[in-house]
């Protein structure tokens, strides 16, 4: 990463509710480099992608997909993201620093890698990506669609759609881990209106995924036999009321529709489109969803005890090796690739449910791994990463090379 000359400061986390409003550039880089080292240590599938477009490439599963494609498979990667750059006195968003670190590592490894920062929902960013692909890659053989956004502007009409985290049909009151107060309480969420359900589908469903594939296809930059994946979380009974059977779940169902439509529209070039079901993990998106901090903290306790827990990078490394490029992929009855079978095992879910039913404020640390949850949350923003001196003065100004 390249630091500019300017003001230096000690950067400590500023947490407000379920978000952290700043990020640590050195910590983000260390976290990215941990993931790169992990991928490089793992076996890969024999088949490999060559030219990869990652839409939503700067955090979470999207970032892990880019790292796996590049450092596990030697692929050229074009990353699309929408991140806040730093100023002299304010840090960038974590995704900015993640991308700067990824690009620095790619440069050092001699891997082709370029970056576009902007609204992936817009025609402008799609056109910019296509221009770059035509000029430097020729064609794309893997598209990873991993966007998470609270709103989307329709590129044709200008209408702004907003998503909500609400149940469908009736309101829900459920147990909750209040991360601000570190207590077990309850949360009540009213049922979504039809307009809110549709808005969530318009933001988080498959419409933009389809638009990307259509634009790339019309531009003639999709390779014969190209693959594309979009990510989802299914969960089970505990999370269904506010996730799987709620507005987000309805939007994720629309991904299934889009996958079928993409396969049909690209049949002439043997296109493959899959929705991929992954583990619950700590991400900026999941932290905002009621019940998920408690569910994930309990899941951590169970799966870490079993030695089966996998974070973003372990899930995606396995996905590439076993499913996207594996010779015997795991595909469920809905046609989705499944990478989350260990989490959804009945024995795991029963123990998680037992914790859920019995935990209270006094037993959070005994019955759950909330400490581990909070550590993972901090790592999203570059804090709590082993080996980083958080008392050191550093500049928040870090540039991303190969930023188009």
Transcribe 109-137 into DSSP letters. HT--EEEEES-TTSHHHHHHHHHHIIIII
pLDDT band at 286; cut points 50, 70, 90: confident
Helix (H/G/I), strand (E/B), else coil: 319: helix
pLDDT band at 189; cut points 50, 70, 90: confident
What average pLDDT does this structure show over 291-309? 94
d(CA 11, CA 8): 9
| Catalytic member of 61, 97, 243, 309 | 243
274: β partners: 229
Number of neighbouring beta carbons within 10 Å of residue 284? 18
d(CA 80, CA 55): 5
d(CA 329, CA 341): 13
- Tens of pLDDT, residue by residue over 68-82, are 999 999 999 999 999
Given a cut of 90, whether residue 194 has pLDDT beyond it is yes
What average pLDDT does this structure show over 91-98? 97
Domains and CATH numbers, the chain: 2-399 (3.40.50.720)
Judge whether 390 counts as a catalytic residue: no
Instruction: Tell me the pTM.
Output: 0.94
d(CA 315, CA 368): 22
């Amino acid at each position: 990463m390249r630091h500019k000359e300017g003001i230096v400061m000690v950067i400590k986390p500023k947490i407000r509710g379920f978000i952290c409003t700043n990020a640590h550039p050195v910590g983000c880089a260390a976290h990215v480099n941990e993931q790169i080292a992990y991928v490089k240590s793992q076996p890969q599938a024999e088949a490999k992608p060559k030219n990869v477009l990652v839409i939503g490439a700067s955090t979470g599963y999207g970032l892990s997909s880019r790292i796996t494609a590049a450092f596990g498979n030697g692929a050229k990667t074009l990353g699309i993201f929408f991140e806040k750059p730093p100023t002299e006195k304010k840090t960038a968003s974590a995704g900015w620093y993640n991308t700067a670190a990824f690009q620095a590592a790619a440069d050092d490894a001699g891997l082709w890698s370029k970056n576009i920062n902007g609204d992936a929902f817009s025609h402008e960013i799609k056109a910019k990506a296509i221009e770059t692909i035509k000029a430097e890659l020729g064609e794309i053989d893997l598209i990873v669609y991993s966007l998470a956004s609270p709103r989307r502007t329709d590129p044709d009409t200008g209408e702004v759609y907003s998503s909500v985290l609400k149940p469908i049909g009736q309101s829900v009151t459920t147990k909750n881990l209040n991360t601000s107060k570190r207590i077990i309480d309850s949360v009540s969420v009213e049922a979504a209106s039809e307009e809110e359900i549709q808005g969530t589908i318009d933001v988080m469903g498959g419409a933009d995924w389809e638009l990307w594939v259509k634009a790339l296809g019309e531009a003639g930059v999709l390779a014969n036999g190209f693959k594309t994946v979009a990510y989802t979380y299914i969960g089970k009974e505990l999370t269904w009321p506010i996730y799987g059977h709620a507005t987000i779940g309805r939007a994720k169902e629309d991904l299934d529709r889009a996958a079928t439509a993409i396969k049909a529209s690209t049949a002439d070039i043997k296109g493959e489109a899959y929705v991929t079901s992954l583990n619950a993990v700590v991400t900026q998106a999941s932290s905002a969803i009621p019940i998920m901090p408690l569910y994930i903290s309990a899941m951590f306790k169970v799966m870490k005890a079993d030695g089966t827990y996998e974070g973003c990078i372990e899930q995606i490394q396995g996905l590439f090796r076993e499913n996207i490029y594996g010779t015997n992929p795991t595909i469920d009855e809905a046609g989705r690739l499944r990478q989350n079978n260990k989490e959804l095992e009945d024995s795991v879910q029963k123990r998680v449910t037992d914790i859920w039913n019995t935990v209270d404020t006094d037993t959070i640390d005994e019955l759950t791994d909330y400490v581990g949850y909070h550590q993972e949350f901090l790592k999203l923003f570059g804090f709590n990463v082993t080996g980083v001196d958080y008392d050191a003065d550093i500049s928040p100004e870090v540039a991303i090379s190969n930023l188009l």
